[in-house]
Amino acid sequence: MKLDLSSLRKAIDSLERTLRVAEDKSLAAELDDDVTDAIRAGVIQNFEFAYELCWKFMRRWLKENAQAEETEHPRTRKEVFRLAARYGLVRDPLSWFAHSDARNLTSHTYDEATAESVYRSALDFLEDAKYLLVKLQEHNE
């Protein structure tokens, strides 16, 4: 079954655009703290959405392409990440464990330190998400 990757592509593109705005130093110098906080919140929201789509697309691809005994449900996200690495969809499952931890932080606590930590995680996540998308496109039947 061919996966429709358009929603994943849009989510990753949105995160990349938002990060580009957030990391623009010349723009940041012109903005007040409220606008900067709003942009950072947008990055975090885009990270949350893109992360959720990434792991769900991994699971879908694995269900269609991996050995049946490897994909029996229920599967934890860590198991999905390990299996995705075994099939070459991701480079390193440990980085995905970290992305999962960052995503979980957004659900439980929201303070300045947490927001900064998740924002920094979104920067690392972007490259992993783009890699996943490329691999899914290469192996999309």
**What's 121's domain CATH number?**
1.20.120.330
DSSP H helices, the chain, are 6-22, 25-30, 33-65, 77-86, 93-108, 112-138
60 lies in some domain: yes
Convert the pLDDT of each residue in 60-110 to its tens digit: 999 888 887 777 765 789 999 999 999 999 999 999 999 999 998 877 656
Question: Whole-prediction pTM value?
Answer: 0.90
| pLDDT 10s digits, 27-47 | 877 888 888 888 988 999 999
Number of domains in the chain: 1
CA distance 43 to 76: 26
Give yes or no for a contact between 62 and 136, defined as CB atoms under 8 angstroms apart: no
* Residue 1 covered by a domain: no
Whether the predicted pLDDT of 1 surpasses 80: no
Does the residue 34 lie in any domain?
yes
12-16, 30-34, 117-121: lowest mean pLDDT where? 30-34
Whether 44 and 118 have beta carbons less than 8 Å apart is answered as: yes
Higher pLDDT, 24 or 73: 24
Supply the range of the domain harboring residue 48.
6-138
Using CA of residue 95, residue 10, residue 133, residue 74, what is the dihedral sign?
A: positive
